[in-house]
């Protein structure tokens, strides 16, 4: 069985973390014997060859990856990529579109001209009312085209039921909707002893430093409020992004870095993030909007309890056995809830939390994808 992934996001030479969840799906399918090829087109100011398009092929953990770095129109790059895939790999049995975008147009064209069916996997927060990018940045005619292409998919697989409802509100329809989980890297499932629930407590936050969505500053303000009551904790923040420097300066203004309350560690590999989770007592996420953040699934695989904002698909992941939820933007409540959680840590069982995380393993998601592909092709 040959499945061609057509994706809006994917790890590439300029950003090894972008769209990592798509690669994880591809690797999960490959482990179940599926032959997966990924086509990803990335715009650049200038290609390394100096031409309008530069095609690069590589294999990562069994997944064939065809990149088209381009300075031309995205559709032209997609069609060039299609020709390279067909020449090097052959005709796929089906396509998987990751995010409703221009790549979905190629999937539809291959369906009409070559009889190749396709499914749509959706991760994008742009459909959410708190974000609004889909309606704000997609013109009426383009939306009509996308909505038609989405309707022709054999099924749509959103990463949360909340995202499904948001897509429907935006006009996306299909006769078949199926949920799909993000994949958590194997290293997060390796058994490791949990830290004893005693001070000094180690808090952790991992994000991409996008204030519009992640509200890292809200976490920092809550740390200042909590520090006024107790001084038996420290917060480590992992990640980088557009707002990294401004958020770090904000932490300095609050006096959190000089006192050692908060430490910024920059970007880390998945294995390093896993180790940081294993060495933490509590994970904190205070997003303004989310779909199904992979980082919370990783926490469950490790057995780490969380405090997170009650937005988007987060309530579908976090329950009373795995953590506590707080209102978005309410820094006072966040501080009070973390205070409560630190004292209640002995009541949270790492083994119980890990059982919730099993659904995100590569084996579990890979078997789900294989069954899905077989049903589409039958």
Query: Per-residue pLDDT tens for 213-229?
Result: 999 999 999 999 999 99
The pairs formed by 340-349 with CB atoms below 8 angstroms and a separation of 24 or more are 341/282, 341/305, 341/307, 342/201, 342/230, 342/232, 342/233, 342/281, 342/282, 345/197, 345/201, 345/281, 345/282, 345/305, 346/197, 348/305, 348/321, 348/322, 348/323, 349/303, 349/321
> What is the pLDDT at residue 16?
84
Query: Per-residue pLDDT tens for 110-168?
Result: 999 999 999 999 999 999 998 989 999 999 999 999 999 999 999 999 999 999 999 99
324, 325, 330, 332: CA torsion to nearest 10: -10
> What is the pLDDT at residue 191?
83
Cβ burial, residue 334 (10 Å; 0-12/13-18/19+): buried
For residue 277, the surrounding DSSP H or E stretch is: helix 270-278
> What is the pLDDT at residue 194?
82
Question: Quick check: 261 and 234 in contact, CB under 8 A?
Answer: yes
Question: Quick check: 42 and 75 in contact, CB under 8 A?
Answer: no
> What is the pLDDT at residue 367?
98
- Give me the tens of pLDDT residue by residue for the chain, a chain 378 residues long: 999 999 999 999 998 888 989 999 999 999 999 999 999 999 999 999 999 999 999 999 999 999 999 999 999 999 999 999 999 999 999 999 999 999 999 999 999 999 999 999 999 999 999 898 999 999 999 999 999 999 999 999 999 999 999 999 999 999 999 999 999 999 999 888 888 889 999 999 998 999 999 999 999 999 999 999 999 999 999 999 999 999 999 999 999 999 999 999 999 988 999 999 999 999 999 999 999 999 999 999 999 999 999 999 999 999 999 999 999 999 999 999 999 999 999 999 999 999 999 999 999 999 999 999 999 999
Q: What is the DSSP string of 304-369?
A: --EEEES-TTGGGT--TTTEEEE-TT-HHHHHHHHHHHHHHGGGS-HHHHHHHHGGGSHHHHHHHH
Determine what percent of the chain is predicted with pLDDT higher than 70.
Answer: 100
Residues written for the chain: 378
Rounded Cα distance between 318 and 220, Å, is 22
Predicted TM-score (pTM) of the model is 0.90
3-state secondary structure of 248: helix
Q: Strands 282-285 and 262-266, how do they pair?
A: unpaired
Rounded Cα distance between 103 and 163, Å, is 20
């Amino acid at each position: 069985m040959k499945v061609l992934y057509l994706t809006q996001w994917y790890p590439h030479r300029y950003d090894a973390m972008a769209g990592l969840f798509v690669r994880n799906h591809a690797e999960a399918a490959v482990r179940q014997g599926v032959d997966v090829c990924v086509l990803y087109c990335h715009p650049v100011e200038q290609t390394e060859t100096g031409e309008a398009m530069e095609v690069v092929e590589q294999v990562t953990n069994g997944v064939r990856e065809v990149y088209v770095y381009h300075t031309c129109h995205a559709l032209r790059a997609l069609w060039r990529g299609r020709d390279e895939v067909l020449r090097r790999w052959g005709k796929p049995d089906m396509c998987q579109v990751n995010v409703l975008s221009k790549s979905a147009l190629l999937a539809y064209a291959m369906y009409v001209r070559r009889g190749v069916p396709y499914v749509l996997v959706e991760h994008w927060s742009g459909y959410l009312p708190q974000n609004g990018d889909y309606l704000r940045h997609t013109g009426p005619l383009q939306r009509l085209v996308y909505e038609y292409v989405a309707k022709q998919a054999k099924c749509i697989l959103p990463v949360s039921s909340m995202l499904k409802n948001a897509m429907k509100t935006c006009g996306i329809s299909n006769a078949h909707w199926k949920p799909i989980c993000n994949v958590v890297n194997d290293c997060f499932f390796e058994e490791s002893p949990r830290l004893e629930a005693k001070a000094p407590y180690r808090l952790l936050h991992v994000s991409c430093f996008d204030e519009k969505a992640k509200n890292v500053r809200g976490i920092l303000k809550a740390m200042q409020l909590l520090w006024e009551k107790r001084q038996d904790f420290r917060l480590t923040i992992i990640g980088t992004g557009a707002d990294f420097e401004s958020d770090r300066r904000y932490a300095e203004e609050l006096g959190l870095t000089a006192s050692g309350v908060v430490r910024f560690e920059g970007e880390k590999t998945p294995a390093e993030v896993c180790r940081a989770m294993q060495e933490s007592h509590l994970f904190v996420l205070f997003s303004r909007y989310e779909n199904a953040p992979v980082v919370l699934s990783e926490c469950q695989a490790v057995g780490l309890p969380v405090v997170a904002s009650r937005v988007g698909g987060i309530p579908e992941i976090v329950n009373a056995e795995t953590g506590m939820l707080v209102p978005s933007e309410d820094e006072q409540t966040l501080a009070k809830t973390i205070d409560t959680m630190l004292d209640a840590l002995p009541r949270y069982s790492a083994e119980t939390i890990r059982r919730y995380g099993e659904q995100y393993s590569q084996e579990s998601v890979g078997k789900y994808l294989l069954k899905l592909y077989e049903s589409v092709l039958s």
